Structure 1
Amino acid sequence: MNVVRSICCMVSAVLAWSAQASPARVQTAEDAAAAQLHQQVDAIFAPWSGADTPGCAVGISRDGALDYARGYGVSNLEYDVPITPDSIFHVASISKQFTAFSILLLVHEGKLSLDDDIRKYLPELPDYGKTITIAHLIHHTSGLREQGQLLNLAGWRGDDLATEADMLWAVTRQRKLNFEPGSEVVYVNAGYTLLGLVVKRVTGQSLRAFADERIFRPLGMRDTHFHADHSEIVKRRTSAYRLGEKGDWRVSIPNYDHYGSTSLFSTVGDLLKWQDNLIRPRVGATAVMASMLTSGTLNEGRSIGYGGGVRLSTYRGLRIIEHDGADAGYRADVMTFPDQRLNIVVLCNGASVEPQELAQRIAEVYLGDRMGPKVVPAVKAPMATLQALAGTYWSPLTDEVVRVETKDGALRQVGVGMAFVPIGKDTFRPGESTHEWRFRRSADGQHALSILDFWPTPRIFKRVSAPMPTSAALVSFAGQYRSDEVDMTYAVRLADGKLTMRWPRQKETTLEAVGGDRFVSGMLGTVTFTRAASGEVNGLMISNRRLRRLHAERLATSKAPALAEGQ
């Protein structure tokens, strides 16, 4: 038995002896009710309570008082260290609300304005002809492209060290936006990385130092900090894991030296203190908190349901303030029911854990009798209907492609596998999510698709009807393509009847034809080849949810650089 398990056994023995030696406290009805709630919470986390699996730390508070905190599973599988309520986790995008709060403190003090052009503080950013404001960054309405995807397209691997300078390099090279600022909302991390830099340039302090001084120390969050140095030692830090191809756990820890959008380290106890501050502000003026909890709007005036780094929504009829986080093997969710004064924190170290779902189940234990119906009742859809809806759909706005298939008696998104649940005529919900996929027949008789998720702007697709490319057409796409925006050259070649694409330091990815000049890649999203007026292929575009139409120009053979073997 290792040292940690020996210590745990000794502690358990001492506690058992103390219980026998001390007079038993009479259990009240209130104690029994609390114990019952806690047993139900334990049952929720039973799958993650083993001695050979990652797991979660859970914290629950009611009316500002700690109700329950417990660890489940293992913090470090190499040393059999158990997760406890004091375990420290990388909480990924939960970081954003602290970055937003820092900005809003400075706004309240008159040191900047939400309407300021970000180039006032970050003059190295290109002038896109449209002003991007501080508010656009906070509310994900800036139109900036996703920083991590830009680095990937520039040759960075997932486990490479990514620094603040790297992120700034990627963002400042952007020549086009995904959309006009304020016209849409698309979640991207780049905006919050830039907000962290704005704090530094306005105050002369790093975001870490500013947040320590103005947020964490005043709230007694002693185990919380923005992590700016991947080599820094952090006591009680959890490791993180993902499942390997053989079903074994593999280490999966982000390698970041940048923060603002991510990289907050914290515990369930510290985050409960912060969540209570959202309900009963002790740090930050009332006006600051009001701004935090006010939804941003689009140019047309429509509310987006996102405030200062927090989602403002409802769950089963009850108002919630919530955000999740996911980086490498870390998964996290914080959920506050302000009207019921219930706070829930779930921090996990396994990539296959679903903390948002777990937090919702905890909320149902505590508030189920006050909640509305859990899901919209499902309706039946004949197999003939499902088969008619299956196909490939393309968005003229974003150049995205989604593919829908019938499999095992249900409609599913290709590559995702989650069964669609019918909830109305030609309307479906993927699994237990609240998203809606609505299929409609257009005037020309073709099916169209509208996907409505958390954001208020639906994604509109039309069915792809273009024929598959011929063998001769596939040959015509092969060549080398250059994107100055990410300083990279891509090689497209034909192998075994299929196109593939590769670039230095990345695995080769297959481009699957979906019709015409359009292809899909599991790594990239949609790859669309472009043509000159003469019909000759002259470039390609890469598009996905957070990055639209990044262009690469086809190089003449004489200009195409040779890729070294293995690149």
Structure 2
Amino acid sequence: MMLHSLAVVVGFALVAGGPARVADPAPASIDSIFARYDHTNTPGCALGVFRDDRIVYARGYGMADLNQRVPIGPQTVFYIASTSKQFTAMSVALLAEDGTISLDDHIRKWIPELPAYTDGIAIRHLLHHTSGIRDYLGLWQLSGRSIADEVPQEMALDLIIRQRALDFEPGNQYSYSNSGYLLLAELVKRASGQSLRDFAAARIFTPLGMTSTQFHDNNARIVERRAEGYQPTGAGAFEIVRTSFALVGDGGLLTTVEDLLKWDQNFYDNHLGRGGAPLIRQVTTPSSEPLADGRPQRYAFGLMPGTYRGLDIVEHGGAFIGFRAQLLRVPAAHLSVAVLCNDYTAQPEQMARQVVDRYLADRLAPVVAAGTGAATGGRSSVSVSSGAVDRWIGRYEVLPGCCSRWLAPATRWSRGSRDRRFR
């Protein structure tokens, strides 16, 4: 099977009348990043590269369904896990723009059955992960259940409600919590009278023409062109991993790289809500309130602003049973990269950055040697011996079947929601 037939390439000429820039990289240069998946016997990834309001390169690598021999393409539908959060947050922002809610409303105004200790939690605390509410995924596992089982919305909410305290006072600390975005989905439902699925369809996906995108809140619903999720079993073999999980808000979005272009375009020319730039500025800006220790907040509305090799970026990743995703935007270059994968050990964050390296080679700051903390936007590196790392080779699970971290013997990759390489 010739998987190269799945590629969509839109010229290498410079945009007429636009600023001069280095020509787009050759397809082979981009394909080399995904070489491990360019086969008919592995799961893989879909890639979309968006530049100047158009797809300049889109390809599938590997198979969406190994049983049925269905290849991945730009129209393959993937579960994108926590990359979904930006769509939940946009739904909340639209309700605030409508005047239906205020971001300073206490969440108990809308979900009064929450315990009294949540009185100080405003909607904005949930958006920025500063609420102090414990993550329901960990609570679910502590209750003796598997995350691969069906988790009804009511039961997940009950787990949150039955907690006796917060981890910290709202606004004092940052702690990534899926519970906050689960509560935001419930907020959308109660404030709008529509499920998050229906609200997002009416206010986001339909206006933007995202015809293959949905919050998937019913596992019985058939979705065309949907990829299966996989994890390796050793010796080059893979097994299907599935879940009855159908909660939305913190995750739950199904989409394609082609639809993500339409979403990406809206950040430059907003057509949602009242239209215009104010809504986009709001959702891409972290809270101006510092944390208790004086550090600035860095998490916006389901988006993580940062820097990469000297350029400002906005991104978010996702990882959940059988799937991993990364959507990375470089606003100053009008370039975005979407990498959606159905191999749970894939490294979409790293691959997206490698794509950026090739497209923006003329604009990126030089890579600095390990140990300086400058090569990856301020992350620090620590040198360790091979023997020290080899002691810990293996797989670790935060929850059964979920949130794994891998330390592989050959490559020494720690694979999780934020990949790290041990040198």
Q: What TM-score comes out, normalization by structure 1 length?
A: 0.63
Q: Which has the higher contact order (CA 8 A, sep 6+)?
A: 2
Give the superposition deviation at 1:230: 0.9
2: distance between equivalents of 1:53 and 1:129?
Answer: 46
Residue 216 of structure 2 aligns with which residue?
227
Q: Structure 1 254/321 Cα, relative in aligned 2: closer, same or farther at 3 Å? A: farther
**What SS does the aligned partner of 2:101 have?**
coil
Instruction: Report the identity percentage.
Output: 40
Residue 195 of structure 1 aligns with which residue?
184
Residue 291 of structure 1 aligns with which residue?
282
Amino acid of the residue matched to residue 39 of structure 2? G
Q: What do the CA deviations read for 1:458-477 (whole angstroms, capped 9, x no partner)?
A: xxxxxxxxxxxxxxxxxxxx
Amino acid of the residue matched to residue 60 of structure 1? V
Q: Structure 1 247/158 Cα, relative in aligned 2: closer, same or farther at 3 Å? A: farther
Q: How many residues align?
A: 379
1: distance between equivalents of 2:143 and 2:264?
Answer: 38
Deviant stretches of 4+, over 6 Å: none
Q: Mean alpha-carbon deviation: is it higher for 156-165 or for 90-99?
A: 156-165
Segments of 5+ residues of structure 1 without an aligned counterpart are 16-26, 380-403, 420-428, 434-567
Residue 386 of structure 2 aligns with which residue?
408
Contact 2:96-2:103 within 8 A present in 1 as well: yes
Give the superposition deviation at 1:34: 5.8
Residue 250 of structure 1 aligns with which residue?
239
Residue 109 of structure 1 aligns with which residue?
98
Greater fraction of residues in strand: 1
2: distance between equivalents of 1:405 and 1:357?
Answer: 19
2: distance between equivalents of 1:417 and 1:165?
Answer: 36
Q: Structure 1 164/129 Cα, relative in aligned 2: closer, same or farther at 3 Å? A: closer
Q: What do the CA deviations read for 1:35-90 (whole angstroms, capped 9, x no partner)?
A: 74322111111111111001000011111111011100010111111001110000
Give the superposition deviation at 1:132: 0.7
Q: What do the CA deviations read for 1:346-387 (whole angstroms, capped 9, x no partner)?
A: 0000011100100000000001221113244448xxxxxxxx
Give the superposition deviation at 1:273: 1.1
**What SS does the aligned partner of 2:76 have?**
coil
**What SS does the aligned partner of 2:337 have?**
strand
Give the superposition deviation at 1:303: 2.2
Contact 2:25-2:359 within 8 A present in 1 as well: no
Residue 303 of structure 2 aligns with which residue?
310
Give the superposition deviation at 1:410: 4.9
1:366 and 2:359 aligned:
yes
Q: 2:47 aligns with which of 52, 58, 69?
A: 58
1:92 and 2:81 aligned:
yes
Amino acid of the residue matched to residue 272 of structure 2? V
Q: 1:332 aligns with which of 308, 322, 325?
A: 325
Residue 70 of structure 2 aligns with which residue?
81
Contact 1:276-1:343 within 8 A present in 2 as well: no
Q: Structure 1 60/245 Cα, relative in aligned 2: closer, same or farther at 3 Å? A: closer
Q: What do the CA deviations read for 1:524-559 (whole angstroms, capped 9, x no partner)?
A: xxxxxxxxxxxxxxxxxxxxxxxxxxxxxxxxxxxx
2: distance between equivalents of 1:97 and 1:359?
Answer: 18
2: distance between equivalents of 1:213 and 1:63?
Answer: 26
Q: Structure 1 405/283 Cα, relative in aligned 2: closer, same or farther at 3 Å? A: closer
Contact 1:331-1:349 within 8 A present in 2 as well: yes
Amino acid of the residue matched to residue 256 of structure 1? F
1:261 and 2:250 aligned:
yes
Q: What TM-score comes out, normalization by structure 2 length?
A: 0.83
Amino acid of the residue matched to residue 42 of structure 2? T
Q: Structure 1 125/28 Cα, relative in aligned 2: closer, same or farther at 3 Å? A: closer
Q: What do the CA deviations read for 1:83-133 (whole angstroms, capped 9, x no partner)?
A: 011100001011100110010111111111111110000111111165111
Residue 512 of structure 1 aligns with which residue?
none
Residue 377 of structure 2 aligns with which residue?
none
Amino acid of the residue matched to residue 112 of structure 2? P
**What SS does the aligned partner of 1:368 have?**
coil
Q: Structure 1 287/378 Cα, relative in aligned 2: closer, same or farther at 3 Å? A: closer
1:431 and 2:415 aligned:
no
Give the superposition deviation at 1:257: 2.0
Segments of 5+ residues of structure 2 without an aligned counterpart are 16-21, 373-381, 394-405, 410-418
Q: Structure 1 169/405 Cα, relative in aligned 2: closer, same or farther at 3 Å? A: farther
Q: What do the CA deviations read for 1:254-307 (whole angstroms, capped 9, x no partner)?
A: 322210110100000101111121222122333221110111234446422111
Give the superposition deviation at 1:219: 0.4
Q: 1:348 aligns with which of 337, 341, 363?
A: 341
Contact 1:184-1:298 within 8 A present in 2 as well: no
Give the superposition deviation at 1:237: 0.2
Residue 115 of structure 2 aligns with which residue?
126
**What SS does the aligned partner of 1:57 have?**
strand
**What SS does the aligned partner of 1:257 have?**
coil
Contact 1:140-1:188 within 8 A present in 2 as well: yes
Residue 45 of structure 1 aligns with which residue?
34
1: distance between equivalents of 2:408 and 2:146?
Answer: 28
What are the equivalent positions in structure 2 for 1:150-165 lying under 5 Å apart?
Answer: 150-165=139-154
2: distance between equivalents of 1:107 and 1:136?
Answer: 14
Q: Structure 1 247/65 Cα, relative in aligned 2: closer, same or farther at 3 Å? A: closer
1: distance between equivalents of 2:173 and 2:193?
Answer: 33
Contact 1:223-1:270 within 8 A present in 2 as well: yes
**What SS does the aligned partner of 1:194 have?**
helix
Amino acid of the residue matched to residue 348 of structure 2? P
Q: 1:204 aligns with which of 182, 193, 199?
A: 193
2: distance between equivalents of 1:181 and 1:171?
Answer: 15
2: distance between equivalents of 1:275 and 1:376?
Answer: 32
Cα-Cα RMSD: 2.8
1: distance between equivalents of 2:49 and 2:350?
Answer: 15
